[in-house]
Amino acid sequence: MLAVLVLGVAVLAAVVLRAVWIVPQARARNVERFGRYSRTLEPGISFVVPFVDRVKSPIDLREQVVSFAKQSVITEDNVVVHIDTVLFFQVTDPRAADYEIVDYIEAIEQLTATTLRNVIGTLDLEATLTSRDRINTALRGVLDDASGKWGIRVTRVEIKAIEPPPSIKDAMEKQMRAEREKRAAILTAEGGRQAKILTAEGEKQAAILRAEGAQRAAVLEAEGQATAIRNVFAAVHEGDADPKLLAYQYLQTLPKLAQGEGSTFFVIPSEVTTALQAVAEAFGGTLEGARPLPEHVGREGRLR
């Protein structure tokens, strides 16, 4: 009796376990009844008919990412490049993803490789390396259209890397090095040119400032000399100097004139000779052996 009770409890537990299913969030399970699709279990608790309904493996409804192996693709100019791609997709119809395609991951991978060959085949190497957005857009359009009937929505396609052959890499590195050296030479030349311009501008400003300084100094010197002459002239007139004093001052200046290089003769005004005669008379008459200058000498006499 006890054994029958235990057996009955075990059967009941097995029936309950097969009748009650709890589906996690963002998951789905397809149910087959007698081998045919019956319905899809949504997240939460669900009940099925034991031994009649068959619950299949869960299908992830979240966005998934898959990275495909490198694909060897030939460009329009016959260069073989290796391309890594990353695909983002999401299952939108669990029934179609389960019954319309055997393995949607493999199908998407093969479709991606075929689309890559078609797209890259229309581009040369340079366009392939610089047109990633164009390639991504083309891949996403083709994959989204083809995978729609499988209950798959391709949300994003990204190219991780494009690797050209080693010989092309070396040529590209040499070209980039030459471009960098060219830019460096241009920048150096521009810097030298700018430095010369700035130096010339500085020298120009310095020359202008020196000329202005020299002009100002000359003006100040001329103004000083004019002021000194006016002061001397005023002092002479205020003191009412007679010709004897002027002759005496001129005689004191003669030694200074003689110190100059190339001074071979001196010009003596006639007024000074007259003053000298007056000085001689003041000291006791005409100097012995002295006689007035001839009239034909004029207003100037020469003392050698």
Q: Please count the structural domains in the chain.
A: 4
Do 215 and 137 sit in the same domain of this protein? no
Give the domain-ending residue among 177, 196, 227. 227
Do 123 and 147 sit in the same domain of this protein? yes
Do 68 and 160 sit in the same domain of this protein? yes
Do 37 and 118 sit in the same domain of this protein? no
Examine residue 128 and state whether it is found in any structural domain, yes or no. yes
230 pLDDT higher than 90? no
Examine residue 288 and state whether it is found in any structural domain, yes or no. yes
SS3 (DSSP) at 165: coil
For 32, the domain range is 2-60
pLDDT tier at 271, thresholds 50, 70, 90: low
Mean pLDDT of 37-57: 91
Phi-psi region of 40 (alpha: psi -120 to 50; beta: other; left: phi over 0): beta
Mean pLDDT of 127-149: 86
Does residue 142 or residue 25 have the better pLDDT?
25
290 pLDDT higher than 50? no
Q: Quick check: 81 and 73 in contact, CB under 8 A?
A: yes
Lowest mean pLDDT, pick from 166-180, 191-205, 227-241, 243-257 = 243-257
- Closest Cα to residue 275, out of 303, 297, 244? 244
Examine residue 178 and state whether it is found in any structural domain, yes or no. yes
**Per-residue confidence (pLDDT) for residue 293, from 0 to 100:** 45
Lowest mean pLDDT, pick from 234-238, 261-265, 283-287 = 283-287
Q: What is the mean pLDDT of the chain?
A: 80
Examine residue 160 and state whether it is found in any structural domain, yes or no. yes
SS3 (DSSP) at 183: helix
121 pLDDT higher than 80? yes
**Per-residue confidence (pLDDT) for residue 276, from 0 to 100:** 59
CATH number at residue 83: 3.30.479.30
**Per-residue confidence (pLDDT) for residue 241, from 0 to 100:** 59
pTM above 0.75, yes or no: no
Examine residue 235 and state whether it is found in any structural domain, yes or no. no
**Per-residue confidence (pLDDT) for residue 27, from 0 to 100:** 94
CA distances from 238 to 108, 224, 241, 247, 250 (A): 121, 21, 8, 18, 19
Residues in the chain, total: 304
Mean pLDDT of 227-240: 71
Alpha carbon 19 to its chain centroid, in Å, reads 69
Residues facing residue 301 across a β-bridge: 268
216 pLDDT higher than 80? yes
Examine residue 234 and state whether it is found in any structural domain, yes or no. no
Do 262 and 298 sit in the same domain of this protein? yes
Mean pLDDT of 134-143: 86
Do 190 and 259 sit in the same domain of this protein? no
Do 73 and 113 sit in the same domain of this protein? yes
Q: Is 38 exposed, middle or buried (0-12, 13-18, 19+ CB in 10 A)?
A: middle
253 pLDDT higher than 60? yes
Examine residue 85 and state whether it is found in any structural domain, yes or no. yes
